[in-house]
Structure 1
Amino acid sequence: MDISKVIVRNEIPEDYEIVEKLTYEAFKDFFIPGRTHVDEHYLVNIMRHVPGFVKELDLVAEYDGKIIGNIMYTKSYVNSPDGTRHEILTFGPLSVHPDYQRKGIGQLLMKHSMDRAREMKFRGISILGHPEYYPRAGFKNSGVFGITDKEGNSPPHMMTIELEDGSLSGISGIFEEDPVFVMKHDDVIEFNKVFFARHGDL
């Protein structure tokens, strides 16, 4: 494929079901130890309606008239020991259709969204993701910035990037992502009843 012909644009309501189906297809065969079900497509559905959702950073990648990728952002925070709550960003899911994976689509979506986030004056992004993939886009272990989980740890899958050199200087503490990421299994099951009725056995 010619990646120069990929169009990156904002998601619109007409894309919603397409993106949810794409997200399911992107993650259904993605192995995670201890994983029992796919829920990223449900997360996409509910994320659009939470206060922390950043619609300006909800982007799709379109190629030859077909949506082949999506990235979505929510606001998140670093809570410092002195009680200061610093606003940053988190993205996820980052979804690319299986037929177009390993072709640079994910990196393209990250670049476009980070450029826009920088223009919007956000200072940084923290994610929980694959520690062998995201460093290619400049992410470092969150511990480098003094950002930890509630137990004071910065495991390999916890990563952060500054959107400008030094933009996270003086910011450290406990990472707090949007509550939307805490999903109930029963809610996913109920959503899937409608999802699979529409899309069949994917």
Structure 2
Amino acid sequence: MNIKIRQEQIIDYSVVDNLIKCAFGNVEESDHTEHQLVGRLRKSDAFIPELSLVAEVDEEKIVGHILLTKVKIVSENKSVISLGVAPLSVLPEFQKQGIGGILLREAHSRASRLGYDSAVLLGHKDYYTRFGYKKASDFNIEFPFDVPEECCMAIELFPGALDGVQGIVHYSDPFRI
């Protein structure tokens, strides 16, 4: 299977929205509004067009999408910009074929080239640790949600990027609706 990763374009929005609905359709932990979150994020100051990526196979069929947007890690005396991974979506019939990992690695690579040095996410500990994510608490980073600690994760895109960083992740307004 030939997989091509490219930046999402406006013309892709409806296809990507449907893809996200399908990807999360049978996920028990989902509220099934991830596509609406993506729509709100696209219109926000947190949106970075270069970090909204799609995976295409077989003559430009979009089968996956990832979005990284700006978040802040805030402590009493400083605020640091990081990226929030949300969501990572792959059509059910294309899952477990490595497409999510390819999207995640490419998003990390592009983010580091743009000057971002870390990312955070809420996700499955057995999946994301394969890509270098660690418990956010290992970095003294907390999330503003009541979820298991092992689901709150962070990654340094450059060694030492989170040295001296601590605090609570502050998501942009589109996450609070």
- With the shorter chain as reference, the TM-score category is over 0.9
- 5+ residue gaps, structure 2: none
The 5 Å alignment of 1:20-169 reads 20-32=17-29, 37-64=31-58, 65-82=60-77, 84-150=78-144, 155-169=149-163
Distance 1:119 1:167 in 2: 14
CA contact (8 A) 1:142 1:154 kept: no
Selected match of 2:165 from 171, 182, 188:
171
Percent identity over the alignment is 35
Distance 2:104 2:160 in 1: 20
**Alpha-carbon RMSD:** 1.5
Larger Rg computed on CA atoms: 1
Distance 2:111 2:55 in 1: 17
Residue 13 of structure 2 corresponds to residue 16 of structure 1 = yes
Calculate the TM-score normalised by the size of structure 2: 0.94
1:42: how far off?
A: 1.1
Calculate the TM-score normalised by the size of structure 1: 0.83
1:154: how far off?
A: 7.5
Distance 2:7 2:144 in 1: 34
Number of equivalenced pairs:
175
1:173: how far off?
A: 1.1
